[in-house]
Each structure stands twice: as structure tokens, then as C-alpha cells.
Amino acid sequence: MELIKALPYITPFWIEHQINPERYDYNIVFHQIIEGNLSEAKLKYSLIKLIKNFPLLNCYLKEINNELFWCKNQNIDVLKTFKNSFDIKYFVRKPFDLQTGHLYRFALVCTEKNKYDLLLVFHHVLIDGGSYQELLNTISSYYNKLKINKKQNILFKIKAKFLQIEKKLNDLNSYKPEYFWKRRLSDFQTKNIFPKLRMSKNKKFS
């Protein structure tokens, strides 16, 4: 497992995550409206290239001997596509887990013909709002330089689907139900006290 030592400014994010792992106010959302003829395959490939060229984006945090390190994810979380019924609020507010998985998620929502909402969500530990224009310029550059024919387009779709399945399988392997339920039930009482029934000495149940 490749490790990169995290800089000191990461520590406050880590501490706050330990206190409240369900918070989402550190989610940085980049929203871009796209109009016109769009190749979803090219966009997916461009985002995959972005993650590959900036490896730290595809990392999570791990504490070893009271020190924090970046650990690389086993796969890339590829762009997901949705129609109008997509729940944007849930997508942008869903908390990231700093210590188990991807700290980014991408969605392309088709709102009407040839009109889309592109949502790029990152945890603030990876990026800040000032990086918005640079990020879009990089993605646009990858997209515009990429020339693919029909056969390559099919291959890109297959590859993107494969990466999506691979991620789901890895998520299942790393899933820890006992951690999830322990966190969810932490506020519940550990014992249920049943009331005692007072019975008359002469009364019997048949």
C-alpha cells in the first residue's frame, strides 16, 4: 500500500471527522451547465484522466502511529449519469468518509434535450472553491483534445461500466456493517426495562 504523509493542515479536518462523521458542510460543489451536443463517453474519460493525472484526488486518509497518511483508492469513482428525477440535494450533501473511500463524486444530469447539469463534488480536504476555473479548464482541455471514433466510443463506455462494477465490488469487500450500526445506534439505550406486573395473591391466569 502506497502511503504519502499528509501535511499538518489536514489534521483539523481529521479531528472534526472523528467528532462528527455525518457532517457535509465541507463538501465543495462545482456546478456547470452544459448545452449542446455532448459525448458522455468523452466526458467520462476526461474525468478519469483528471483523477489519474492528479493522484492525490483519488486518496483517503489513514492514521498510523498518530500520524496521518494519504492512501490510494483501489479504483476510480467514474461519472454517473441521471435523468430529471435525480435527487441533487442528497447527492451534494451525502457525507464523505475520510478514512474509507473516495472523497469525490461526479454526476451528469440530463435536464432536457442537449442540456445538462454537471456536478463535481469534492471534500474540502482535497480542494477549495478557488480551484473551480482551473478544474473546468483542465477537464475542457482533456475533452476537446480527445478524438474518438464509434468503436472507441463503445470501448470507453464498456471501460467506464467495468470501473463502476469494480468499485461496487471493492465497496462490498470493505463494507463493515458492525461499524455502520455501532455509529447509527450509538444514541440508543443498551437495555430495555420492562414494567413489572402487580398481581393479586388470589388471582390466577388460566
pLDDT in the model for residue 149: 57
What's the predicted TM-score (pTM) here?
0.71
Q: pLDDT digits over 108-121, tens only?
A: 999 888 999 999 99
Helix then strand then coil, in percent of the chain rounded to 5, is 40, 20, 35
Cα–Cα distance for residue pair 53/139, rounded to 1 Å: 11
Task: Note the pLDDT tens digit of each residue in 13-49.
Answer: 999 999 999 999 999 999 999 999 898 888 998 999 9
CA distance 18 to 115: 40
